[in-house]
Amino acid sequence: MHRVGFILKNPRYTGADGYPVIIDAGIFQTAQEIIQKRKKTVRRSDRPALRYREKLRCAECGSPLKRRHSGQKRNDTLYLQCEGCGIRTEIKDSDFLAEVERQTAAYTPSEQSAVVYEPSADAVRLTNTINRGLERPDQPEEIVKLILQGVSARYDCFSQEANLIDIHGERAIQYITISADNAVTVTFKG
C-alpha cells in the first residue's frame, strides 16, 4: 500500500521526465483532487477545540488535562485525563466551544479598573454571528476565528487603561477547568 501511495503522489509516474508511464494522467489528476480534498477536511490536530489544550486544567485538583489516546473515538469530542488525580472526562467540541464563548462574552475586567463596557456595533454583530455559527457547527475552525475576533472587538470597547491587562484573543484566557461532569469554567487574566 505504501508504494501505491508513493506512485499516486509522484507525477513522474505519469511519464514525466522520461519515466515510464505507470499511471494514467487522468487517474493521477483524480487522485490528486481526492488527496487535496482529504487535506481540507478537519484533522484531529487542526480541531479548533484543541487550540485551547495548553490551557485545560482539572476542576478537581488544578493539574493539566491531557488528551487520552485509546480505542475508537469521535473526531468531534475531547477525551481528557487529569495528570494529577487521574479523573477522566469527555466533552463534545461544540459544547466546549459554546461554553468558552458564552463565558468570554460575559467577561468584563475587574471592578478595580472602573471601566464601563459599552459594546460596539462590531462586537454585537460578531456575537450574533458567533451564536448563529454555534447553532450550525459545520465549520468549527471559522467559529473559533469568530470567537477570537469577538473577544478582540469586546476588548476594543474598553478604555486604554483597561486594555493594558492584555485582553486580546485567546491570550485573555489564563486557563480553562473542566470537571468530571463537563462543567467548563474559564478563568481570565487580570
Q: Looking at the DSSP assignment, which residues form a beta bridge with residue 64?
A: 57
pLDDT tens digits for range 39-71: 655 454 567 888 888 999 999 999 999 988 766
**1 grid coordinates:** 500500500
What was the pLDDT predicted at 85?
A: 94
Instruction: Find the DSSP H helices in the chain.
Output: 2-9, 25-40, 93-106, 121-135, 140-156, 160-163
pTM over 0.75: no
The pLDDT score that the predictor gives to residue 173 is 83
Residues 129-151 have a mean pLDDT of 77
**The pLDDT value given to residue 37:** 72
Cell of 81: 485525563
**DSSP conformational letter for 175:** E
